[in-house]
Amino acid sequence: MVKIAVIYYSSTGTNYQLANWAVEAVKEAGAEVRLVRAEETAPQAAINSNPAWKKHIEETKEVQIASSDDIEWADGIIFSTPTRFGTLPSQMKQFIDMQGGLWASGKTINKVVSAMSSASNSHGGQEATILNLYTAMMHWGTIIVPPGYTDPVTFESGGNPYGTSVTQGQDGSMVEDVEAAVKHQAKRTVEITEKIHG
């Protein structure tokens, strides 16, 4: 049984939902899974200024904070993260930057990686964010597994071949229906991980 870590950062809940759909699919595919979150590093004043952000932090405080142990444990990793100006939010970037010790000791080599993202509009940087994350993963020596166009659900969810992405509407809900695309991407990640590490 291969081991998949689903590592997410979410300020108001969109990527938490994407991550949970991925967890469901990983379990359905017969792999062991861990759901962990990048630690919140924003100042309290910023969090308090957004009721949805504050509420989400309170609702997910029991989710384990991601650590190097999760990376070392996993055969494959699924990341889910919002975009911040076309790149990773500082919370996820800090988590990745803190893995220098694992990288230096060769413990990130051949991990299978896939990524998902979100933004507040359809051209808000989702693709760039995923590609920025994949650039770091190339340095880690990972094997990147995008969904590509391996299933029609990619087209139905917006057509992002790099990783499932979604637009968060002004009311906080997802604009596109991406649940099936997330689950396909997660199962594909398990399938490729099994080929390499099974």
Q: What is the pLDDT of residues 91-105, one digit of tens each?
A: 999 999 999 999 999
Of all residues in the chain, the percent with pLDDT exceeding 70 is 100
SS3 (DSSP) at 113:
strand
Question: For residue 175, what pLDDT is reported?
Answer: 93
SS3 (DSSP) at 76:
strand
Question: For residue 152, what pLDDT is reported?
Answer: 95
Question: For residue 10, what pLDDT is reported?
Answer: 98
Please name the residues in contact with 46: beta carbons below 8 A apart, sequence gap of 6 or more.
Answer: 53
Question: For residue 72, what pLDDT is reported?
Answer: 98
Between the alpha carbon of residue 137 and those of residues 108, 128, 133, 148, the distances in Å are: 9, 14, 6, 17
How many C-beta atoms lie closer than 10 Å to residue 52's C-beta? Answer: 11
Phi, psi of 116 (to 5 degrees): -135, 160
Question: For residue 198, what pLDDT is reported?
Answer: 83
157/25 Cα distance (integer angstroms): 17
According to DSSP, residue 64 is labeled P
Take residue 86 and report the two structure tokens written for it: 């076309």
Q: Does pTM top 0.95 for this prediction?
A: yes
Give the architecture-level CATH label for domain 3-197.
3-Layer(aba) Sandwich (3.40)
Take residue 165 and report the two structure tokens written for it: 């992405």
Question: For residue 170, what pLDDT is reported?
Answer: 87
Profile the chain (198 residues) by mean pLDDT over runs of 10 residues: 98 97 98 98 96 96 98 98 96 98 98 97 94 98 98 92 95 93 98 96
How many C-beta atoms lie closer than 10 Å to residue 62's C-beta? Answer: 5
Which own/partner pairs from 40-44 qualify as long-range (CB within 8 Å, at least 24 positions apart)?
Answer: 40/91, 41/90, 41/91, 41/94, 42/11, 42/90, 42/91
Asked if residues 175 and 166 have their Cβ atoms less than 8 Å apart, the reply is yes
